[in-house]
């Protein structure tokens, strides 16, 4: 048996012997450690061209608003019409922040959520956590549309009639790997240089970060990191021309 056949045979045997029964109990821990390493390497390889508060010895969720302020200034986001798309609206706190700050009549604000909470368990958060009834948000701005349902069911019908006009500010705040990967890959063909993608839980190695890593590496996405806050929990990236 040559070396290649030997490797192939061992792989088949591992499956025959149900290797997963041995590895599954440790898969969370091992996966987390490995992806934490990828995140650390990514940080070294992607210097932030703009606001960055790293390193902080404490954790503060309100630092996301400092990042929003900073990128709004850096990129002049309040003086130009935007298409703001938020994936994971929940109570609408970040959604309303951007809508109140950017008052231009031609801006449009699209908020996607189940409004029934997370469709899967996420860490300590059970399925159904973070549920806010859509009507309780009381958003009456005519520039805003809330789109209720799973992204996996609502995004493509939305994109079929979407006019790709304004600069896009895409806010991924859905926490889950599945939701982030689905959203990024479906939006791929609409992305233009200058569009910005904001992440709200980037530093969670098995979720938004992993989805971003797989997306950017598989679609050969060229980007700059233009902001980071709260030890990279909140991150902003800007699309560049593709360079194959």
Can you give the binding site for ligand SAM, defined by CB under 6 A? 88-91, 93-94, 113-114, 117-119, 130, 150-152, 173-176, 179
The residue sitting closest to ligand SAM, measured at its beta carbon, is: 88
Q: In this complex, which beta carbon is closest to ligand SAM, that of residue 51 or of residue 234?
A: 234
Q: In this complex, which beta carbon is closest to ligand SAM, that of residue 65 or of residue 162?
A: 65
How far apart are CB 88 and ligand SAM at their closest, in Å? 3
Q: Reduce the secondary structure of 195-211 to three states and give it as a string.
A: CEEEECCCCCCCCHHHH
**CA–CA separation, 89 and 130 (whole Å):** 10
**CA–CA separation, 99 and 107 (whole Å):** 9
Q: In this complex, which beta carbon is closest to ligand SAM, that of residue 37 or of residue 123?
A: 123
How far apart are CB 139 and ligand SAM at their closest, in Å? 13
How far apart are CB 153 and ligand SAM at their closest, in Å? 8
Residue that has been written with the tokens 């806050």 in this structure? 229
Q: In this complex, which beta carbon is closest to ligand SAM, that of residue 146 or of residue 225?
A: 146
How far apart are CB 64 and ligand SAM at their closest, in Å? 8
**Nearest alpha carbon to residue 155 among 234, 86, 223:** 86
**Residue 208 CB partners (closer than 8 Å, separation 6+):** 172, 175, 177, 180, 199, 200, 201, 202
Q: In this complex, which beta carbon is closest to ligand SAM, that of residue 91 or of residue 157?
A: 91
Structure token pair of residue 23: 């590895």
**CA–CA separation, 36 and 204 (whole Å):** 8
Phi, psi for residue 155 in degrees, rounded to 5: -70, -45
Q: In this complex, which beta carbon is closest to ligand SAM, that of residue 162 or of residue 224?
A: 162
**CA–CA separation, 175 and 27 (whole Å):** 20
Q: Specify the DSSP element, H or E, that contains 44.
A: helix 20-45
How far apart are CB 229 and ligand SAM at their closest, in Å? 14
How far apart are CB 148 and ligand SAM at their closest, in Å? 9
């Amino acid at each position: 048996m040559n070396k290649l056949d030997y490797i192939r045979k061992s792989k088949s045997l591992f499956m025959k012997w149900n290797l997963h029964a041995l590895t599954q109990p440790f898969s969370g821990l091992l996966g987390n450690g490995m992806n934490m390493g990828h995140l650390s390497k990514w940080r070294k390889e992607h210097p932030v061209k703009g606001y960055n508060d790293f390193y902080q010895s404490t954790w503060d969720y309100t630092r996301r608003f400092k990042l929003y302020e900073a990128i709004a200034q850096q990129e002049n986001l309040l003086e130009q019409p935007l298409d703001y798309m938020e994936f994971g609206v929940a109570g609408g706190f970040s959604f309303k922040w951007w809508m109140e700050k950017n008052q231009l009549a031609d801006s449009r604000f699209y908020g996607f959520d189940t409004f029934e909470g997370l469709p899967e368990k996420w860490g300590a958060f059970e399925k159904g956590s973070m549920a806010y009834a859509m009507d309780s948000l009381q958003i009456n701005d005519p520039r805003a549309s809330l789109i209720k349902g799973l992204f996996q069911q609502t995004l493509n019908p939305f994109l079929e009639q979407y006019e790709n006009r304004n600069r896009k500010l895409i806010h991924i705040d859905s926490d889950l790997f599945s939701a982030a990967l689905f959203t990024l890959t479906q939006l791929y063909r609409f992305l233009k240089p200058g569009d910005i993608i904001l992440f709200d839980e980037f530093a969670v190695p098995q979720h938004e970060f992993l989805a971003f890593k797989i997306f950017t590496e598989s679609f050969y996405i060229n980007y700059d990191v233009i902001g980071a806050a709260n030890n990279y929990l909140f991150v902003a990236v800007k699309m560049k021309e593709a360079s194959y």
